[in-house]
Structure 1
């Protein structure tokens, strides 16, 4: 595989950089720099995504007929890398990255016409209704009941760890429509509006940030919620099949670009902060060894991703490779937050959620350390989730053992 960029690729890189310089404004940059995960407020996030949509760059992985860019593998790589290095938010929200591919593959013409244009333009924000209390990695045990009542399903139960449910206009949701046969056969895939009567959202505060401002996850309750049968994707009882298809897109994403940005941040911190020997952390032999090992891991993952995404462009399915990328990528993300915490040292420790909230709100409360210190501990805590969501690392090992080794 030729990894050298052509003159056309380099010209495209310059175009991406020029777009980011203009569209990623100072307010967005300030919010991103003080975010535990580079997420913005909803208004700023939508403003950014609409600028991408106006440029025609909102959905690089979509087929051209639905509004995709038609980019080559190298162009997608350049775009992801330049976005990450600039600290720009991801384009791949849950509507673009996860719901849309399922609608394209299994939805009716009416569902495609209703949902895909609004997902592309960010006129509708989506959240994911998969996990439940007691049904996380063992997703097939989910129990949110959907009973048929004429032309509607009536939903009762709850979903948990629902990212940005408070922002969402729609949810793609797995529900239990039958208790007969094996558990997977009784699951269906529904699309539902979040303003439907009977839906309530309760925020779940976490260690990495306060409920306000950076509130990320929630529990969603359903009490006699009526959803039209016409909102079901595909056939009743085949939701597990559609869910597995979706997980290829949730798990098989590019990690190397974001990891490269994280590596650069750690190097910046290590160049400034002092080690035990009196020099900078970057001069500490043990820390330099850890940093070198991490950089080798990231470069290896980068080459692997390029090879796999080139195969996907040629029409090959991701299969078990998506589990491998998710496993290695999530472990590398956690490693980088650990190295950042080590490099920042004592300046990462004055992390107090309320104090951090005051700083992000624009008050003049003093804080020890450089500006980057405010996000080191929140990012460390936030990234503990990466080895759990989208199927825990243990689940990924099981998938690869079954699909690759035949165990």
Structure 2
């Protein structure tokens, strides 16, 4: 009888605890992400040794599987300093970073028990490279993103279209003979994802490779449930078929503003990994302008770097990160205190709105001529100034019909040449009250 009473009390306490743990909504999980604005993508792996394409060089038969994997002998990570990485990311204004824990080639950067094909067992690095990365980001109060390719072109149960040596000895499969090849593979990748989830508790999973199989084959629905069970606050990119939390356009910046949370990932040159022969780096102005276009449409920029096999970041990439960081620092009021800007048609260029919608930030890509136009603003304007140097600009309204609530055009003085930014100049327009926009088609003036 006493045992029964104790059991009832325990069940009551457990049920109350479960009820108290409310499941986070998608919007709650995405809250930090929507304010992040800048993340750093890190493609680091064997492919940097020869400076070739990550994984795809095997797929396109530009290198044999054996020669590709032989690069591991020179993947040393001897100068890997994740603390310096994290400090750099923090300095330039990034709020999160995403590391390739396993690309399509199957090489894991952490000490996984599900595969011998990992940097601890196969390379001179001889250690887990993910754990110190995660710890360094946490120490700088940065969010942790882990990239994981669902496909694995080394796994013996995953079919590939290029010649590959027998890799069964690299993947322990004890007591799995009764499973089909695909069941074994699902067990494998879910095991690795559980390791990453429980060992590192990432804020974000960045999946890739989902195009090779269907949602049903990937067990995408149950995988998403498992990820949230292991870490209730984690968010997932759109490459888990239809089970992602935000969209991830790549390389080509969207022309039409995407709906919902989104992130644009882009390389600094033409390749993701360390590729020393690729010197086609984007000019700093292009990177800054891309960043502005993305955040003005409510997205984040995930800007890629490709560290060398020794763990150092190429100077060309550091220079571009730091230049972007200086621009962000100068204009941080517009960057981090803002959301997506005005609809198209009100201003000839990107815009941002303060979260309380009392300020509009106008982004000038080029030196304006004559005057700057802003259309459809019904509010009275308190002031207009240049961010970064606080030059006040005069302004006047031109045209419009106040009695029909048609505000006309706000004509703004051009900033002095010395106050124009080298990349993107930002004007702060302070309004009286929250933004009121005129979005009409215009009317005939029937009363003067």
TM range (shorter): under 0.3
Q: Where is the helix percentage greater, Structure 1 or Structure 2?
A: 1
TM-score, structure 1 length as denominator? 0.23
Q: Which has the larger radius of gyration?
A: 2
Q: Where is the strand percentage greater, Structure 1 or Structure 2?
A: 2
TM-score, structure 2 length as denominator? 0.21
